[in-house]
Amino acid sequence: MKHLIILISISLLSFCKKDSSETYMINETKWQYSIPENYIFRVNNPINSNNSKKENHFENPEDMSENQYILFTASKKLEGLKKWSDSNLVMATYTKAKFIKKYGSLKKYLSKNKEFLDKTYLKEKSKPEILISEINIADRKFDVMTQNFLNFQNKFTFTSVTYHTIIENELLEISILYNNDEDKEKLLKTIENSKFYR
């Protein structure tokens, strides 16, 4: 839920730079990632950046850490007055994985979070499809939460996918948002081709 709120409100964030490939640090682990072609950074905090962001104003319905670090956000580049898309984007953050003390594992935390989302959407008379799965990326296991949304009146659909993994007691979350198959394939490919090393 926290990531969905950030994704939907991402238009408040500022444009940063256009380079596509960067390396990020999560404690002692390095993560190399390249944004898709025709996407632009709006916030970017790679290694040796002087613009490190420490965000603590996004409230979570559960009990994650109050300190969240934004590694980057990037959106599809558009022509005209609006420079980027709010419907096709990718972002990555990390925060202390304090929830493990309560739930025991990331999988149990995501299951609890899914229950929370189901109840929330039921109150809003909305019922998106929420799926939890697993994937290996660069020999690292990720638990993945996929939310498929459909607006019946406007026939508008979009999908939110968030990848979760624990790195040195930090929860890394990589989220993508897309509303078409072409951007879906681009975003999924860049994440699956990323690399972790020390």
pLDDT tens readout for residues 66-76:
578 999 999 99
Q: pLDDT band at 154, cuts 50/70/90? A: low
- For the ranges 3-12, 17-26, 151-160, 169-178, which has the lowest average pLDDT? 3-12
Tell me what the mean pLDDT of segment 159-176 comes to.
95
Residue 114, Ramachandran bin (φ over 0: left; ψ between -120 and 50: alpha; else beta): alpha
Domain spanning 2-197, CATH architecture:
3-Layer(aba) Sandwich (3.40)
Instruction: Identify the band that residue 97 occupies on the pLDDT scale cut at 50, 70 and 90.
Output: confident
Higher pLDDT, 16 or 106: 106
Q: Are 93 and 173 in contact (CB under 8 A)?
A: yes
**pLDDT tops 60 at residue 99:** yes
Backbone angles phi, psi at 157, to 5 degrees: -125, 150
pLDDT confidence of residue 82: 74
188 sits in which H/E element: helix 181-192
Q: pLDDT, tens digit, for every residue of 5-62?
A: 454 444 434 444 444 579 999 989 999 999 999 999 999 999 876 554 444 333 343 4
126-148, pLDDT tens digit by residue?
667 889 999 999 999 999 999 98
The single-letter DSSP state of residue 189 is: H
Q: Would you state the pLDDT for residue 16?
A: 42
Percent of the chain with pLDDT over 90: 49
What type of residue sits at position 101?
K
Give the integer Cα–Cα distance in Å for 165 and 175: 12
Q: How far apart are the C-alpha atoms of 187 and 191, rounded to whole Å?
A: 7
- C-beta separation of 24 from 72 below 8 A: yes
pLDDT higher than threshold 80 for residue 181: yes
Residue 79 has pLDDT above 90, yes or no: no
E strands in 19-107: 21-26, 29-34, 39-44, 53-55, 68-77, 84-96
The CA-based diameter of the chain, rounded to the nearest angstrom, is 49
Average of per-residue pLDDT values in the chain: 80
State the distance between the two ends of the chain, measured CA to CA, in whole angstroms: 31
